[in-house]
Amino acid sequence: MNLKIYSGAPGSGKTLSVLNDVADTPGRYVIAVPRKELAEEFGAYLRERLDAKTRSATVKTIHSGQTGFREGVVRRIEEAVRDHADSAHCVLLITHEGFLGSDPVLFEQRHGQLSSLVVPQSPLSGLGEANWL
């Protein structure tokens, strides 16, 4: 699994840099964010960027605010990771809650399941800096 840290002041472009790298670099990504609205926003941005560059990738957003599903969030996350284990370029956007509720073994680099796990970290009090891992 890759580990790349994007660090900088709030508003310095870390989020767009991460999303652009994810859109431009084929692989299997899980992006865990603190709020379901962010998952939707980031998913829309990635789809738009991929369409503009005429690139093919699966972008799937899973969170508790979605209706019409019989399965719970954790089961849908597990199924999505397994279903796309062989995809050349797939992005799964989930919430921190969904990530923490999932089996950690699912996110290990086994059987080619995952290229990168991206988790935005909140700025630490008083430091004025935020990180993406």
Instruction: Look at 82 and 130; give whichever has higher pLDDT.
Output: 82
User: Does 102 reside within a domain?
Assistant: yes
User: Does 1 reside within a domain?
Assistant: no
User: Does 119 reside within a domain?
Assistant: yes
User: Does 89 reside within a domain?
Assistant: yes
Q: How many domains does the chain have?
A: 1
Nearest alpha carbon to residue 32 among 121, 119, 102, 131: 119
| Mean pLDDT, range 18-44, rounded to an integer | 90
CATH code at 42? 3.40.50.300
DSSP sequence for 45-102: HHHHHHHHTT---EEEEE-TT--S-SS-HHHHHHHHHHHTTT-SSEEEEEEHHHHHHS
Q: What is the pLDDT of residue 120?
A: 58
Q: What is the pLDDT of residue 125?
A: 34
Give residue-wise pLDDT tens across range 83-124.
Answer: 888 888 999 999 888 988 888 777 765 444 455 566 555 433
Mean of the per-residue pLDDT values of the chain: 79
User: Does 48 reside within a domain?
Assistant: yes
Q: Is the pLDDT of residue 131 over 50?
A: no
Residue-range definition of the domain harbouring residue 110? 6-125
Question: Backbone phi, then psi, for 48, in 5-degree steps?
Answer: -65, -45
Q: Record the pTM.
A: 0.80
User: Does 132 reside within a domain?
Assistant: no
User: Does 116 reside within a domain?
Assistant: yes
